[in-house]
Structures are given as structure tokens and as C-alpha cells.
Chain A
């Protein structure tokens, strides 16, 4: 159960279940306490990422190393969902009334988990500047009430505000240049992502 199962939409040497799109989507949304788990193929139960997997950067690097290990790494772009503050929910609000405490706790654990992985990635990439990019709307979401599903415009506003920040604007410009003109850096397999991480 602790070994991550990748649902691939591409051919791979790994054995993988013949799985439908909806099954894969359902399995990756099987966050404990949210939804019951799903069984695919030979009655193998799946739960969503779990601790250490909510931010899949390690898993992605591992997979990339297997598939393209000999190629130089261009960049790794990690996009967060702005959860950290969104689920910070400091004041009891409507969400607390509809969402049981353990759901709120689970969300908080997921957010913390994502940031832990981000910090590990930062450490891994200190040897390779301008390679790892993390974008995550980290401010402003805390006043949102997740009960209102019309909040999309506010998510949009916070995101726009985030992107207007000087350092983010510069980061995006740099990222744009690096994606279009990749630099020849280390080979992916040289990063040392293989082996146990947890």
C-alpha cells in the first residue's frame, strides 16, 4: 500500500493495470476521510497519495530518471493549489460546520506534506540553480469560505495578485526563457533521486 502506483497514459516497461480514465481519476481522489477507497483490477485497493505523495515531485523525478535518465534535466515546474492558507482556516466558519474536524485536519496534513516535499526539492536542487520552480498562491486565500462554490473569481483574483508580485513575475519570465531554450545541465539520473526517500 505504501508503494506509489503510477497511472500512466503512456507505454512503459512497468506492469500496470489496464485501467479506465475514470478509475484512475477516482483512485487519485480517494483521499482518506473524504471518499472510500477504490479497487481496480485484481481487487487492489487504492488510496490517494497519502503522506509524502501529495506533492509528487519525487515520484516524477524518479519516473523521468527511468524514462529519460540519460538526458540533461531542463527544469522541474511544481504548481501548488494554494492550499496552505486556504485550509489554514483560523476562524471557525461555515466550512467547519459542514466539514468534520478530521477532514479539516486531513487537508492541513496534505498542505504541510506538500511544503515538506517542496523543501526537500529545494535542497536537492541547490546544486542546480534555475532548475526547480515552485509556484503556489501562498497568500490571501485564508479568508475564503470553501463552502461557497462560486469562489472561483476570488481564486482568480488571488492568483492574479500573486503573479503580479515582483519576485514571481521575475520567476515566470526566467521560467519562460528556460523552457524555450533548455540549458544543458546534469543528466536526470545524476540527481540521485533513486532509492528510499522516506
Chain B
């Protein structure tokens, strides 16, 4: 992902995740499910699947930042 794309996604994600603190914080003040959904959506958009593996094959040159 290039820097501009990363910033674009970051802004959307932060808004999604931090705008609504949990009403009754238990294990963490913010909703992990929202964070998870936001991350998966980014991974899906960039790699084509939200379930892509972290380990790159040797022939891959893409940046996973």
C-alpha cells in the first residue's frame, strides 16, 4: 500500500473505531469488533481477500505495510 492510500484508510478507520467508546467498558474502552471489521475491510480492498496470509511468497514484491 502506498502512503497516500494508507493515510486515506487510516482516517476512515479511526473515525469508525474511536468515535464511539463503549458505553460500559469491560475488556477495553473501544470496540474490538469495529477495529477488526475496519482492518478486514482494508485488507480486502488491498489484497482482494480479507483472509490473506501475512507471509509473502518469495515471488511477491508487494508491500504489506
Contacts and interface: CB of A to CB of B under 8 A. Distances in A.
A33 B22 CA distance: 12
A98 interface: yes
A36 interface: yes
Nearest to A7: B54
Contacts, number: 76
Contacts of B36: 22, 26
A107 B27 CA distance: 17
B28 A35 contact: yes
Contact of B53 (A20, A25, A34, A99): A20
Given A35-B35, A99-B21, A9 B55 contact: yes
B54 A20 contact: yes
Nearest to B56: A9
For the side of the interface on A, what is the size category?
A: 20 to 34
Interface string A41-81: 00000000000000000000000000000000000000000
Interface residues of B, number: 30
Interface in A125-161: 149, 152
A22 B32 CA distance: 12
Contacts of B50: 22
B56 A35 contact: no
A103 interface: yes
A149 B28 contact: no
Given A9-B64, A149-B14, A152-B11, A22 B29 contact: no
B29 to A, nearest CB: 5
A36 to B, nearest CB: 4
B27 to A, nearest CB: 4
A21 B29 contact: no
A36 B28 CA distance: 5
B52 A21 contact: yes
A99 B28 CA distance: 12
Interface of B: 7, 11, 14-15, 18-19, 21, 25-32, 35-36, 39-40, 43, 47, 50-56, 58, 64
Q: List the 10 closest A-B pairs by CB distance, nearest first.
A: A36-B27, A35-B28, A35-B32, A36-B28, A149-B15, A25-B39, A22-B39, A9-B64, A21-B43, A22-B40
